[in-house]
Amino acid sequence: MEKVISVSMGEIALKGLNRGYFEDQLTSQIRRAIKDIGYEKIYKEQGKIYIEGEESKFPIMIKRLKKVFGLVHISPCIRVNKDMDQISKAAILAMKEGKTKTDIKTFKVDTNRADKSFPIKSPEVSREIGGLILKEFGDISVDVHNPDIYIYVDIKQNTYIYTEKIKAYGGLPVGTNGKGLLLLSGGIDSPVAGFMMAKRGVDINCVHYHSYPFTSERSEEKVKDLATILSRYTGKIKLFSVNILEIQKEINAKCPEKEMTIISRRFMMRIAEEIAKYNNYNGLITGESLGQVASQTIHGIGVTNDAVNMPVFRPLIGMDKVDIIDISRDIETYETSILPFEDCCTVFLPKHPVTRPRVEDIRKSEETLDVDKLVKEAIENMKIYSIK
């Protein structure tokens, strides 16, 4: 009788001929998440992945595994041989451990006989174990519809008994769906956008824009902190830090004030696209939500898109602010995001920004600027950080 951790895969089970690739990527992500904790073995068995290690380390392992995209449930298990006597003893032990955690009055045994060579069918296994539990514990009863606790029995090459299905984030393993460059500000939205795209299997790197010395160095440190929190879900992140103060000065001097925000945004997209092309990233990611601010109207987003040819992903586009905040709290970026350090968007902020810009008007205004030179110089002077 041994203790192991079982992890259940979600969408990966539907991947057909590509399933092996996704499982290998997921196993790699699991190793990355817990390698510093230490484990003895990771192996696959009939649709699930199992982790052997010291039971005392299971709580911290589970906390890490919850952040691995591709997993839907995590369960501490008792592993025994395919023997009814051992299975019964393990089920009684699982019930004892479950009763120490919460007040339990009812239970149900749920058996899954994946190995059809096992001679006793699932309903019979459940009935036999249920009878033994009723005999062992006189203060509980069976409830097949809404029990306080389930005793799960998975009969495979080995047999696994468990009572918990700890929910994870699901999604796809990071790196199985290309690479994206996230425009990471110091706000609430962009870290959530990065999280959501990583959940869909995108390998995330980030670009941040600042206006030092008009903005403080501490505002850049705040973004590094956000990238560090994000890296708990995504793995290693490359952070490109770009000073756009000279670009903003040029726009302020030569373009209509009301167009300051939208033209600045177009420069950010151009710079991000050049960085993405050089590093073979497949698309850009932003935290824009439709109508949230002046540059995020449907007209503003259309004009912003006009500046680049690369796909732009906006996973928050139809979300309310309160929903975005809920996710930011859950992934632990919120408290950092609300720290009161200014970002580059507050520099030369127009009193009345245009909310219904037209592409032809913005292009005409940009004719007064040496766009290529400004983009090139900003990239040449950028800093690159490795975030782990």
Residue numbers belonging to the annotated binding site for ATP: 183-184, 208-209, 265, 287, 296
Q: Which two tokens stand for residue 15?
A: 């991947």
Give the amino acid at 160.
Answer: Y
> Phi and psi at residue 216, in whole multiples of 5°?
-85, 160
> Which tokens belong to 93?
């032990």
Angle of helix 58-65 relative to helix 19-34, nearest 10 degrees, comes to 130
- What separation in angstroms does the CA of 78 have from each of 62, 97, 155? 15, 11, 12
Residue set of the binding site: 183-184, 208-209, 265, 287, 296
Q: How far is CA 354 from the centre of its chain?
A: 34
Task: With beta carbons less than 8 A apart as the criterion, state whether 74 and 5 touch.
Answer: yes
Q: Which has the closest alpha carbon to 153: 181, 124, 176, 175? A: 124
Alpha-carbon gap, residue 28 to 18, rounded angstroms:
16
Q: Give, in degrees to the nearest 5, the angle at Cα 24 between 20 and 29.
A: 145
**In the numeric block, which tokens belong to residue 111?**
């058996």
Q: Tell me how many helices (H) and strands (E) the chain has.
A: 13, 15
> Mind spelling out the 3-state secondary structure of 183-205?
ECCCCCHHHHHHHHHHHECCEEE
3-state secondary structure 150-177: EEEEEECCCEEEECCCEECCCCECCCCC
CA 141 to chain centre: 40
What is the rounded CA–CA span in Å between residue 39 and residue 57? 9
CB 184 within 8 A of CB 239: yes
